[in-house]
Amino acid sequence: MPLSQRELTPYRMVSLTEFRRNASQLTNWVSYRGGRVWLLKHRRLVATVVTNADAERLDRWDGRSLEEQKRRMEILWNRWQRVKAGEILPDLPISFWE
């Protein structure tokens, strides 16, 4: 389908300050309307808020699985909780980017 016949993804450009004030409304807009929020700091693009489906597509393109990243984060969280509780763990590094 030619670009002129496709609907382009809606987006909004907002400052980080505005995003902090309206985070709930903007994330709902992303979630339910499929939009994208471009976050600006000193008028420079620093980050983008996208739907989970877009993030998963990006992960597949980047060669990483979102489920694998979630699993790694859970492992790191659990290790941190155990250390915080005073448990001494063997020094087994977990590479986040493997």
Tell whether the model's pLDDT for residue 7 goes beyond 70: no
Structure confidence by residue, pLDDT tens digits, 28-63:
999 998 899 999 999 999 999 999 888 888 877 777
CA distance 3 to 90: 55
DSSP string, 46-88: EEEE--HHHHHHHHHHHT--HHHHHHHHHHHHHHHHHHHTT--
Domains and CATH numbers, the chain: 3-84 (3.40.1620.10)
Tell whether the model's pLDDT for residue 4 goes beyond 50: no
